[in-house]
């Protein structure tokens, strides 16, 4: 059953306001709460319209019969220089270490499917990245997947680190991660891509969007899954995160200045 436009708009107004303010709150009212993937995607798209924000990238993962993993990353939330500003949780940054595939030319909607070779040819840069995590729901324990999907799958932005070797990155199914501050190592993880092949979710995303009459644009950055789940890291400290032989990124997290409603 499709969600009524009025219900999708009502849900989008709530979620968009929370996103802009960096706030969270209760589940959506039952009258506009999604119960199907179709309803969740209608709300997700309505949030984009409500924000009037340009889509600068996507997060995605391989689907299952019960789930699709796809959400926009807004240009205003993509950062590369200076401190990384985010909405913290309990005084800490929550991030996911990922690879970001950046397109050098458009992959517009068309009648015929794209081959993997065509998609590979469009990927001109690969960067180390950190997905910035925040939910617009205050209690996520037991939250149905479709409600998280409607909210953009806990994405609040993307930190783009340095460019790395395209060919090394495309085969990086496993990456040993080391996190250090000025005093030394503070954590390490045996990182593994959730889908094995880092570009596999991107191949799926291109076809998913094509079937929706949408395409991808040059300059968009696509992330395809965390190598170590969600990491909780300190604010206001210079950190270095090494992605094995691919290289490392330097970052310092800062809380967004508070906004008035």
Report pLDDT digits (tens) over 35-62: 999 999 999 999 999 999 999 999 999 9
Task: Please check whether residue 229 lies inside any domain of the structure.
Answer: yes
The mean predicted confidence, pLDDT, of the chain is 96
Please report, for the domain that includes residue 176, its CATH number: 3.90.850.10
Structure tokens, 108 = 């517009």
pTM, whole model, 2 decimals? 0.95
Task: Please check whether residue 36 lies inside any domain of the structure.
Answer: no
Task: Please check whether residue 12 lies inside any domain of the structure.
Answer: no
For residue 258, pLDDT over 80 is answered with: no
Let me know: does 225 contact 98? Beta carbons within 8 Å: yes
Task: Please check whether residue 49 lies inside any domain of the structure.
Answer: no
Task: Please check whether residue 45 lies inside any domain of the structure.
Answer: no
How many whole angstroms separate alpha carbon 56 and alpha carbon 45? 14
Residues 6+ apart with CB under 8 A from 131: 59, 95, 96, 98, 155, 157, 158, 223, 226
Task: Please check whether residue 108 lies inside any domain of the structure.
Answer: yes
Nearest CA to 45 out of 17, 5, 75, 84 is that of 5
How many whole angstroms separate alpha carbon 151 and alpha carbon 41? 9
Task: Please check whether residue 96 lies inside any domain of the structure.
Answer: yes
Domain containing 227: what range?
56-255
Number of domains in the chain: 1
Task: Please check whether residue 37 lies inside any domain of the structure.
Answer: no
Q: For 133-172, what is each residue's pLDDT tens digit?
A: 999 999 999 999 999 999 999 999 999 999 999 999 999 9
């Amino acid at each position: 059953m499709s969600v009524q436009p009025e219900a999708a708009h009502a849900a989008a107004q709530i979620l968009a306001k929370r996103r802009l303010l960096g706030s969270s709150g209760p589940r959506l009212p039952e009258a506009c709460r999604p119960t199907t993937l179709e309803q969740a995607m209608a709300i997700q798209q309505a949030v984009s319209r409500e924000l009037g924000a340009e889509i600068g990238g996507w997060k995605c993962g391989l689907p299952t019969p019960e789930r699709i993993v796809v959400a926009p990353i807004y240009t205003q939330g993509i950062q590369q220089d200076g401190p990384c500003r985010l909405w913290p949780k309990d005084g800490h940054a929550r991030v996911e270490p990922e690879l970001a595939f950046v397109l050098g030319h458009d992959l517009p909607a068309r009648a015929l499917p794209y081959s993997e070779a065509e998609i590979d040819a469009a990927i001109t840069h690969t960067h180390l990245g950190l997905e910035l995590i925040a939910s617009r729901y205050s209690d996520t324990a037991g939250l149905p997947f479709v409600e998280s999907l409607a909210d953009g799958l806990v994405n609040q932005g993307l930190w783009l680190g340095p460019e790395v070797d395209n060919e090394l990155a495309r085969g990086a199914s496993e990456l040993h991660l080391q996190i250090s501050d000025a005093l030394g190592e503070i954590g390490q993880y045996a990182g593994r891509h959730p889908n094995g092949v880092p570009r596999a979710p991107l191949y799926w995303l291109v076809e998913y969007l094509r079937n929706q009459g949408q395409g991808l644009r040059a300059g968009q950055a696509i992330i395809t899954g965390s190598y170590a789940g969600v990491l909780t890291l300190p604010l206001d400290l210079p950190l270095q995160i090494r992605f094995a032989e691919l290289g490392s990124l330097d970052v310092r997290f800062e809380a967004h200045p508070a906004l008035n409603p």
